[in-house]
Amino acid sequence: MSGPGWSSAAFADLGRLLEERSGLSFEPLRCESVETGASRAMARAGIDDEAEYLAALRAERAPLDDLIAEVTIGETYFFRDPAQFEFLRREVLPDRARGGGAPIRLWSAGCASGEEAYSLAILLEQEGLVERAGVLATDVSRRSLAAARRASYTAWSLRGVDPALVERHFRRDGAMWVLDERIRRRVGFEYLNLALDAYPSLANGLWGLDVILCRNVLIYFGRRAVAHVARRLYDSLAEGGWLIAGASDPPLAEEAPFEVVVARDGVFYRRGKRPIACAFQTLQPVAVAALEAPESELARPDPLREANPAPTASVVRDVLSEARSALDRGEWEAALRLAAEAGEVEAADALRVRATANLRGPAEAASAAVRACVRHPLSAELRFLAGVLLWTLGRDGEAQRELRRALYLDRSLAVAHFVLGAVLARIGDAEGARRAYRNAQRIAEGMPAGAPVPLADGEPAGRLAEAARAAIALLDAPVEANA
How many C-beta neighbours within 10 Å does residue 294 have? 21
* Cα–Cα distance measured from residue 67 to residue 103, given in angstroms and rounded to the nearest whole number: 36
> Are 331 and 246 in a shared domain?
no
Q: What is the pLDDT of residue 388?
A: 95
Q: What is the pLDDT of residue 277?
A: 45
Q: What is the pLDDT of residue 37?
A: 87
Question: Over the range 356-367, which residues count as b (16 or more CB within 10 Å of their CB) and which as e?
Answer: bbbbbbbbbbbb
Specify the 3-state DSSP secondary structure of 328. Answer: helix
Q: What is the pLDDT of residue 478?
A: 64
Inter-residue contact 115 to 76 (CB < 8 Å): yes
* Cα–Cα distance measured from residue 310 to residue 343, given in angstroms and rounded to the nearest whole number: 6
Residues in the chain: 483
Largest CA-CA distance found in the chain, in angstroms, rounded:
74
The residue with greater pLDDT, 75 or 369, is 369
Residue 75 has pLDDT above 80, yes or no: no
> Are 90 and 222 in a shared domain?
yes
- What does the pLDDT average to over 418-432? 95
> Are 322 and 241 in a shared domain?
no
Percent of the chain with pLDDT over 70: 88
Instruction: Tell me the pLDDT band of 8, cut-offs 50, 70 and 90.
Output: confident
Instruction: Tell me the pLDDT band of 309, cut-offs 50, 70 and 90.
Output: low
> Are 241 and 140 in a shared domain?
yes
Mark which of 219, 253, 270 sits at the end of a domain. 270
Instruction: Tell me the pLDDT band of 251, cut-offs 50, 70 and 90.
Output: very high
> Are 213 and 141 in a shared domain?
yes
Residue 480 has pLDDT above 60, yes or no: no
- What does the pLDDT average to over 284-309? 42
The answer to whether position 303 is within a domain reads no
From the list 170, 146, 169, 196, the residue with the least C-alpha distance to 21 is 196
Residue 315 has pLDDT above 70, yes or no: no
Contacts of 96 (CB under 8 A, 6+ apart): 104, 210, 211, 240, 241, 242
> Are 143 and 250 in a shared domain?
yes
Inter-residue contact 149 to 479 (CB < 8 Å): yes
Residue 60 has pLDDT above 90, yes or no: no
pLDDT tens digits for range 204-220: 889 999 999 999 999 88
Give the range among 70-79, 157-166, 395-404, 425-434 with minimum mean pLDDT. Answer: 70-79
pLDDT tens digits for range 223-238: 889 999 999 999 999 9
Q: What is the pLDDT of residue 195?
A: 87
Residue 28 has pLDDT above 60, yes or no: yes
Residue 298 has pLDDT above 60, yes or no: no
Q: What is the CATH number of the domain that holds 167?
A: 3.40.50.150
Residue 419 has pLDDT above 50, yes or no: yes
Inter-residue contact 263 to 91 (CB < 8 Å): yes
- What does the pLDDT average to over 369-398? 94
The answer to whether position 277 is within a domain reads no
- Whether a cis peptide bond, with omega within 30° of 0, leads into 303 is no
Residue 151 has pLDDT above 90, yes or no: yes
* Cα–Cα distance measured from residue 396 to residue 184, given in angstroms and rounded to the nearest whole number: 18
Which residues are 188's β-sheet partners? 136
The answer to whether position 360 is within a domain reads yes
The residue with greater pLDDT, 313 or 18, is 18
The answer to whether position 245 is within a domain reads yes
> Are 36 and 124 in a shared domain?
no
* Cα–Cα distance measured from residue 433 to residue 288, given in angstroms and rounded to the nearest whole number: 25
If you average pLDDT over each of 66-75, 336-345, 465-474, which comes out highest?
Answer: 465-474
Backbone dihedral angles phi then psi of residue 86, each to the nearest 5 degrees: -65, -35
Mean pLDDT of the chain: 86
Instruction: Identify the domain containing residue 134 by its residue range.
Output: 82-270
Give the 3-state secondary structure percentages of the chain, helix then strand then coil, rounded to 5.
Answer: 50, 10, 35
From the list 55, 165, 75, the residue with the least C-alpha distance to 119 is 165
The answer to whether position 288 is within a domain reads no
> Are 29 and 158 in a shared domain?
no
Q: What is the pLDDT of residue 2?
A: 60
Instruction: Tell me the pLDDT band of 305, cut-offs 50, 70 and 90.
Output: very low
